[in-house]
Amino acid sequence: MTGTPTRVLVLNSGSSSVKYQLLDMSDGSRLAQGLVERIGEETSRLAHTPLRAGGSAPRERTGPITDHAAALKAVAEELAADGLGLDSPELAAIGHRVVHGGLRFTEPTVIDEEVIAEIERLVPVAPLHNPANLLGIRTARAMRPDLPQVAVFDTAFHTTMPESAARYAIDVETADAHRIRRYGFHGTSHAYVSRATAKLLGKEPEEVNVIVLHLGNGASASAVRGGRCVDTSMGLTPLEGLVMGTRSGDIDPAVTFHLKRVAGMDADEIDVLLNKKSGLVGLCGDNDMREIRRRVDEGDERAALAFDIYVHRLKKYIGAYYAVLGRVDAVVFTAGVGENAAPVREAAIAGLEELGLAVDAGLNAVRSGEPRIVSPEYARVAVAVVPTDEELEIARQTFALTGEIAGGDGGRGPDGNAAGEVTRTTNA
């Protein structure tokens, strides 16, 4: 094939894993996807799924993959085996998910040495995520130094928050010296879902106010006014806000001093407690909502309490963001729990009729991968389920920027729509 390259490889690099998807932005279709996990261990595994019609079957490799360079080399080999190699002239760009862009990165950004240095400078506020993202970036740049590579930041969508929402009420000098403020995360998902919700309502993003509830293993809420984020529940780190799979969400900060003084725990132990051993798993031993619902249905009291605490927090944020926005057009659920757990949606909206919110039991019970409204016709505010698609959003933003660099059509398809609005998978 000749012509303008339209493929974008999306890389999401974690400390011991790399997730990837190859998309064709001429129509938003997915050509391949996969995951390398347990990098650096003896039991590394690469699972590769070709997705082109008539393509080959899913493949798996096991055995040691020593580092991110070896992981990307293995990914490149798998893609090449399907005729989709990284050396293909059809590859337009690589889009990297980067968790923390601080205040500097308000937009997707073409990566150069200066951008890498700034992502590095943000490591103190994202010690788990940014180093892993940088490993992926450096490796991919070494493999294809000639190719545009774009960083898409999880925090970028939230940089529109006013200072009143973004600042903590602590000493300003201390906060500024250490860049302590609320940044928010899952921004790519909140951006995608809020825009897709406007489309579902038959409106432009500028016309609608939306509360987005991204409920995956990590969970966050955001208040979006006319397409711009005005508040979000995650803060300096992804620990703040909703009850999550393993994170506590909001907690009195004095709990941490108490744990130090009374329980003799140090900062790292408290970090692990609040990030890994709290939330649903801390409350009932399970972080999978399917398992929790099964236990609730069997009469398990701990699971029932965990579910109630989870829903109570969710309801508080819906009310808070309703007040922040003043007028709400839709409350939208997304990600693993939000898209699949009808009981969570039902319980979170229950009792909010005075706010114009209701869920139709029949519509809410429908299982579908499509964006849909689950509120009854009479409800003043729509309740919607919109599957998120961070990879497509990263690819779209990457391609748009690549188009700009090349003087192309900015990622717009032949009909003028942003490419790829038609296909989606759940992956948050």
At 168, the amino acid letter reads Y
Please report whether residue 290 would count as binding ligand AMP according to CB under 6 A. yes
Residue facing ligand AMP at closest CB distance: 336
Token readout for 37 is 């996990």
d(CA 210, CA 294): 31
Minimum distance, C-beta of residue 193 to ligand AMP, in the bound complex (Å) = 12
Site for ligand AMP in 308-367 (CB under 6 A): 335-337, 340-341
Q: How far is CA 83 from the centre of its chain?
A: 30
Minimum distance, C-beta of residue 287 to ligand AMP, in the bound complex (Å)? 6
Which residue from 288, 300, 360, 409 is in contact with ligand AMP, where contact means CB under 6 A? 288
For strand 45-50 and strand 29-37, is the pairing parallel, antiparallel, or unpaired? antiparallel
- CB-count exposure of residue 220 (10 Å: 0-12, 13-18, 19+): buried
Q: How many CA atoms lie within 13 A of 109 on its CB side?
A: 21
- 289 is a site residue for ligand AMP (CB under 6 A): yes
Residues numbered 211 to 240 that lie near ligand AMP (CB under 6 A) are: 216-217
8 Å CB contact between 346 and 217: no
**How buried is residue 48: exposed, middle or buried, by Cβ count under 10 Å (0-12/13-18/19+)?**
buried
37 binds ligand AMP per the rule CB under 6 A: no
Query: How far apart, in whole angstroms, are the C-alpha atoms of residue 274 and residue 4?
Result: 48
- Range in contact with ligand AMP (rule: CB under 6 A) among 132-140, 223-231, 283-291, 371-379: 283-291
Q: CB of 37 within 8 A of CB of 68?
A: no
- Pick between residue 35 and residue 147 the one whose CB is nearest to ligand AMP: 35
Catalytic, out of 27, 67, 82, 154: 154
DSSP state of 23: E
Pick the closer one to ligand AMP by CB: 141 or 186: 186
421 binds ligand AMP (CB under 6 A): no
Burial of 43 (0-12, 13-18, 19+ CB in 10 A): exposed
Helix H or strand E encompassing 71: helix 68-81
CB of 273 to ligand AMP, least distance (A): 20
154 is a catalytic site residue: yes
Total interface residues for ligand AMP by CB under 6 A: 13
**Binding region for ligand AMP (CB under 6 A) out of 22-30, 46-54, 139-147, 287-295:** 287-295
* Binding span for ligand AMP by CB under 6 A among 40-48, 270-278, 284-292, 319-327: 284-292
DSSP state of 35: E
Establish if 245 lies at the interface with ligand AMP (CB under 6 A): yes
Task: Check binding of 275 to ligand AMP (CB under 6 A).
Answer: no
Between 310 and 317, CB nearer to ligand AMP: 310
User: What is the Cα–Cα distance from 46 to 81, expressed in whole angstroms?
Assistant: 14
CA distances from 415 to 4, 182, 409, 412 (A): 17, 38, 11, 8
- Sole window of 2-10, 101-109, 111-119, 288-296 interacting with ligand AMP (rule: CB under 6 A): 288-296
In the complex, the smallest distance separating the C-beta of residue 280 from ligand AMP, rounded to whole angstroms, is: 8
Chain residues binding ligand AMP by CB under 6 A are 216-217, 245, 287-290, 335-337, 340-341, 428
Q: Active-site positions?
A: 154
